[in-house]
C-alpha cells in the first residue's frame, strides 16, 4: 500500500521515541554519576587538605613545619598518584613521600577549585590548591592535594558499560512491549477487515460482533453504506422491471398490428419492432445487472435445477434430456439473478439448438485461484470456429448475431464482464457447442 503499514508506523515512531528517551536518560545518568564521583573525590581531597592544615605548626624560628606526615598510606607509596605538597610562595616547604624525588608543578592560580594536573610519569591528576594563613607563620601557605583522575574515569567507564547494556536490554523489552501493544490495539481493525471479507464473500449481510467504542462509529457507517447499496440496487432493479413491463405491451401490440399489414411493409415494421425489442431487452438486462455486490451469494445447484425444470416444461415438444453434473456445494459469489441470467441464457440456447441432449457441468477452477468453471454443452449443429471467434470479438455488438444466440450471448458476456470473468466457446464432446463460464466463487471449505 502506498500509505504504508499502520503497524510499522506506530512501532517505528515508538521505537524512535524510546531510543531518544533512553539516549537522553543514559547521558543524564552518566553525567550525574560523573558529578557524584567528582564531588566525592574533591571532598576526599578537601578532607586531606584540612588534615594537612591541622598538622602545620611553626618551629622556633617561626618557619612552618609538620608535626608528622599524614597516616594515609597512599601518600607514602612511591608514585602512587596521591600526592600532597606545601609551598610558601615559590619555595617548596614539604611534600609527600609518594612524590619520591619529584615535585608537583606549582598552580597557575590558587582558587580552591579542582583543576587537571599532569603529575610524575605524565600521569593525569586532579588537584586542589588552597591558600591558608597559619598562626605565628608570617607568610601564607599554599597546600596542594592531588589524586589520579583514573579514580574517577575508571568507575565512570565501568558504569557507562553497565548502563549501556542495561538500557539496551530495557530498550529491547520496551520495543517488544510496544510491538505487542500495537498489534493488540489494532486487532479490532483486523476483525473489521475479516467482517468485511465475510460480507464480501456472502457469509454475512452486515458487520457483526463486539467492537471497541473508538471504531464503533466506523462499523455503523459501513453497515449503513451496505444497506444503502442494497436499497439502491433493489430500487434500480424494480425500476428496470417496471420499464420492461411498460415497453413490452406496446411492442407486442406493434408486432400484432404489423402481422395484419400486407407484405413487404408489414415484414419491415415487424423486423424493426424485433430490433427495438432486442435492444430494449439487452439494455434492460444491463440495468437489472447487479454485478459483484457485498453480501451476495447463490447456490449453483439450486439455480441450475430450477432452470432445468423450467426448460424441460418449455421444450415439451422435444424429447430432450438435460443432465446436471455439478460438484456439491458450488457457490457463486454474486447475485442469484445474475447467475440465473447467465446460466439461463446458455441453457436456453443449448436447448433451442440441441437435438436430444444438453449437459451442464460445474467444477471449482484450477490453480488460477478460487473460481467457478461452468460449461453448457449440446449435441446440436454448433457454431463453426471462425464464426465463434467473430461472435466473441464483436463484444457489445453481439446483438447483431442471429436471434436465439446472439442476444443471449451478448447478455451473458455483459454479465460475465461485470464479474471479471470470461465466456469461452468451443466444440462440445456431445457434438455441438460448448459454452464455458469462468466466474468467481467461494470454496465450500470457506463456509461457516
What's the whole-number mean pLDDT along residues 97-108? Answer: 89
Q: Which residues contact 324 (CB under 8 A, 6 or more apart)?
A: 301, 304, 305, 308, 360
Residue 395 has pLDDT above 50, yes or no: no
Confidence class of residue 243 from pLDDT cuts 50, 70 and 90?
confident
As a whole number of angstroms, the distance between CA 363 and CA 344 comes to: 18
As a whole number of angstroms, the distance between CA 10 and CA 12 comes to: 6
- pLDDT for the residue 161: 95
* pLDDT, greater one: 231 or 18: 18
Confidence class of residue 368 from pLDDT cuts 50, 70 and 90?
very low
Helix/strand/coil for 69: coil
- pLDDT for the residue 378: 92
Cα→Cα distances 44→37, 82, 101, 105, 385, Å:
11, 11, 25, 21, 106
What's the whole-number mean pLDDT along residues 111-133? Answer: 91
pLDDT in tens, 312-365: 887 766 788 899 999 888 888 777 888 888 898 899 888 988 888 999 999 887
What's the whole-number mean pLDDT along residues 27-54? Answer: 93
Per cent of the chain over pLDDT 70 is 84
Confidence class of residue 407 from pLDDT cuts 50, 70 and 90?
low
Q: Which three cell numbers stand for residue 336?
A: 442469484
pLDDT in tens, 158-203: 999 999 999 999 999 999 999 998 888 888 888 888 888 777 666 6
What's the whole-number mean pLDDT along residues 413-433? Answer: 85
- pLDDT for the residue 5: 78
The answer to whether the pTM exceeds 0.75 is: no
R_g of the chain, CA atoms, integer Å = 49
Q: Which residues contact 232 (CB under 8 A, 6 or more apart)?
A: none
Residue 150 has pLDDT above 90, yes or no: yes
- pLDDT for the residue 382: 85
The pLDDT mean for the chain works out to 81
Residue 294 has pLDDT above 60, yes or no: no
Residue 153 has pLDDT above 80, yes or no: yes
Give the torsion through C-alpha atoms of 360, 361, 367, 368, to 10 deg: 10
- pLDDT for the residue 314: 78
Amino acid at each position: 500500500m502506498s500509505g504504508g503499514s499502520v503497524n510499522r508506523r506506530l512501532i517505528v515512531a515508538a521505537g524512535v521515541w524510546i531510543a531518544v528517551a533512553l539516549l537522553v536518560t543514559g547521558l543524564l545518568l552518566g553525567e550525574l554519576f560523573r558529578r557524584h564521583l567528582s564531588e566525592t573525590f574533591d571532598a576526599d581531597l578537601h578532607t586531606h587538605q584540612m588534615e594537612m592544615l591541622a598538622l602545620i605548626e611553626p618551629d622556633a624560628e617561626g618557619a612552618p613545619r609538620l608535626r608528622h606526615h599524614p597516616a594515609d598510606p597512599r601518600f607514602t607509596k612511591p608514585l602512587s598518584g596521591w600526592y600532597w605538597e606545601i609551598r610558601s610562595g615559590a619555595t617548596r616547604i614539604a611534600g609527600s613521600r609518594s612524590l619520591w624525588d619529584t615535585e608537583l608543578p606549582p598552580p597557575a592560580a590558587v582558587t580552591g577549585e579542582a583543576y587537571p594536573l599532569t603529575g610524575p610519569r605524565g600521569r593525569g591528576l586532579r588537584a586542589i590548591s588552597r591558600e591558608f594563613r597559619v598562626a605565628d607563620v608570617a607568610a601564607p601557605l599554599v597546600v596542594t592535594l592531588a589524586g589520579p583522575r583514573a579514580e574517577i574515569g575508571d568507575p565512570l567507564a565501568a558504569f557507562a558499560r553497565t548502563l549501556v547494556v542495561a538500557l539496551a536490554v530495557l530498550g529491547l523489552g520496551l520495543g517488544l512491549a510496544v510491538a505487542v501493544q500495537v498489534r493488540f490495539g489494532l486487532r479490532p481493525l483486523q476483525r473489521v477487515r475479516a467482517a468485511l471479507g465475510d460480507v464480501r464473500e456472502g457469509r454475512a449481510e452486515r458487520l457483526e460482533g463486539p467492537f471497541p467504542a473508538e471504531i464503533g462509529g466506523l462499523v455503523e457507517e459501513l453497515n449503513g453504506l451496505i444497506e444503502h447499496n442494497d436499497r439502491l440496487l433493489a430500487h434500480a432493479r424494480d425500476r428496470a422491471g417496471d420499464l420492461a413491463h411498460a415497453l413490452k405491451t406496446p411492442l407486442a401490440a406493434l408486432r400484432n398490428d404489423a402481422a395484419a399489414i400486407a407484405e413487404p411493409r408489414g415484414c419491415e415494421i415487424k423486423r424493426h419492432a424485433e430490433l427495438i425489442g432486442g435492444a430494449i431487452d439487452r439494455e434492460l438486462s444491463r440495468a437489472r445487472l447487479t454485478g459483484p455486490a457485498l453480501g451476495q451469494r447463490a447456490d449453483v445447484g439450486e439455480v441450475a435445477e430450477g432452470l432445468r425444470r423450467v426448460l424441460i416444461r418449455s421444450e415439451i415438444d422435444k424429447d430432450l434430456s438435460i443432465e446436471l453434473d455439478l460438484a456439491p456445494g458450488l457457490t457463486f459469489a454474486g447475485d442469484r439473478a445474475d447467475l440465473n441470467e447467465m446460466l439461463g441464457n446458455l441453457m436456453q440456447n443449448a436447448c433451442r439448438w440441441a437435438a436430444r441432449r444438453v449437459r451442464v457441468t460445474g467444477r471449482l477452477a484450477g490453480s488460477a485461484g478460487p473460481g467457478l468453471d461452468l460449461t453448457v454443452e449440446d449435441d446440436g449443429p454448433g457454431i463453426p470456429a471462425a464464426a465463434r471467434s467473430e461472435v466473441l470479438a464483436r463484444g457489445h455488438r453481439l446483438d447483431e448475431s442471429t436471434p436465439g444466440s446472439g442476444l443471449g450471448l451478448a447478455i451473458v458476456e455483459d454479465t460475465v464482464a461485470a464479474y471479471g470473468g470470461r465466456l469461452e466457446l468451443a466444440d462440445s464432446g456431445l457434438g455441438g457447442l460448448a459454452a464455458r463460464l469462468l466466474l468467481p466463487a467461494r470454496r465450500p471449505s470457506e463456509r461457516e
